[in-house]
Amino acid sequence: MTPDPRRTEGVHPDHPDLDRLAVPDLVRVLADDQRGAVTAVQAAAPAIARAVELALPRLERGGRLVYAGAGTSGRLGVLDATELTPTFSWPTERAVPLIAGGSRAIREAVEGAEDDRAAGAADVGAAGVGPDDVLIGIAASGTTPYVLGALDAGRLSGALTVGVSNNPGTPLLAAVDCPVLLDTGPEVISGSTRLKAGTAQKIALNTFSSAVMVRLGKVYGNLMVDVRATNAKLEGRAVRLVCHATGADEASATAALAQSGGSVKTAVVMLLLGVGAAAATARLDAHRGHARAVLEDRTGGQP
């Protein structure tokens, strides 16, 4: 049989007796191999940075982040899209996860769905992907037909296309504006790309979307000042963030948050500039939501 050229499909040379290892050694081997995921993302950092820089103008115009994947890759896209709202108050309608087989595939395998190239194109069309959107295709193999179909449609729509693959020289990387190679090589359990290939994808997606959100003003310093406080834990976090950013006491931070409708960013501007909620909101709006810009321009852009 002709060897599969995809490195993720290769047999790991170091652990032919994996099934004979004692549990402590087995756990150590599996954990140690994950270090390759970090190395792969570090090597891909320039490519990820380029994708961030090209994505920003589209997102500043109101574009969306659209993720397309199958299996593990698709589920990681769903995860990244879902977490943007509570972490950065990113509107849910501007983070669109597409997964081969639909929402059922999040919890169970949908046989054959990833092989349907036309379905990938159809899902992108149904999502109304357009020129201001950023379409991220994720496939460890770099050959998944569903993802390639999604990217076909994304290119035709004029969207910025980003491709994340764990194999060099694959159709996915050749088909996108911003190829991101995460060269993780063979898996300890041969072919199980939910291991370090999946870990590398998770790190890369986290890095990409977090960098985008920082540049869009969703972070002040290294504080997540656009956090959406939807439970008691996050409400407490919001108070601590305001206290840390402003030096205010807990009572003052709590009062500012109440007046700002729970907006950490607005409360920070209120306390540091000594203005009310309406004025703080107006100043943030004048600076496209960037607290740093408001605080460095003490007029807040106001006459």
First to last CA, the chain: 74
Tell me whether residue 93 is one of the annotated catalytic residues: no
Q: What is the pLDDT of residue 233?
A: 86
Please say whether the beta carbons of 54 and 47 come within 8 A. no
Class of 232-296 in CATH: mainly alpha
Please say whether the beta carbons of 120 and 150 come within 8 A. yes
User: What tens digit of pLDDT does each residue of 78-115 get?
Assistant: 999 999 999 999 999 999 999 999 988 888 888 788 88
CATH superfamily of 7-215: Glucose-6-phosphate isomerase like protein; domain 1 (3.40.50.10490)
Q: Do domains 7-215 and 232-296 have the same CATH topology?
A: no
Whether residue 180 has pLDDT greater than 80? yes
Q: What is the pLDDT of residue 1?
A: 63
**What Cα–Cα distance (Å) separates residue 147 from each residue in 107, 171, 195, 272?**
19, 10, 20, 47
* Residue whose pair of structure tokens reads 């290892």 in the numeric block: 21
CA nearest neighbour of 267 among 290, 289, 239: 239
Rounded mean pLDDT, 45-50:
98
| pLDDT classification of 299: cutoffs 50, 70, 90 | low
Choosing from 9, 53, 60, 83, which is the catalytic residue?
Answer: 83
Rounded mean pLDDT, 195-222:
96
Choosing from 60, 93, 111, 114, which is the catalytic residue?
Answer: 114
User: Whole-prediction pTM value?
Assistant: 0.91
CA dist., res. 85 & res. 9, Å (int): 35
Whether residue 40 has pLDDT greater than 80? yes
Name the residue ranges covered by the structural domains of the chain.
Answer: 7-215, 232-296
User: What tens digit of pLDDT does each residue of 187-203 get?
Assistant: 888 878 889 999 999 99
Please say whether the beta carbons of 243 and 253 come within 8 A. yes
Tell me whether residue 108 is one of the annotated catalytic residues: no
Classify the phi-psi angles of 262: left when phi > 0, otherwise alpha if psi is within -120 to 50, otherwise beta.
left
Q: Alpha helix (H) ranges present in the chain?
A: 23-33, 35-43, 45-60, 71-88, 117-126, 145-157, 171-174, 196-215, 232-246, 250-259, 264-273, 277-286, 291-296
For residue 105, give the 3-state DSSP assignment: helix
**Which amino acid appears at position 88 of this protein?**
F
| pLDDT classification of 303: cutoffs 50, 70, 90 | very low
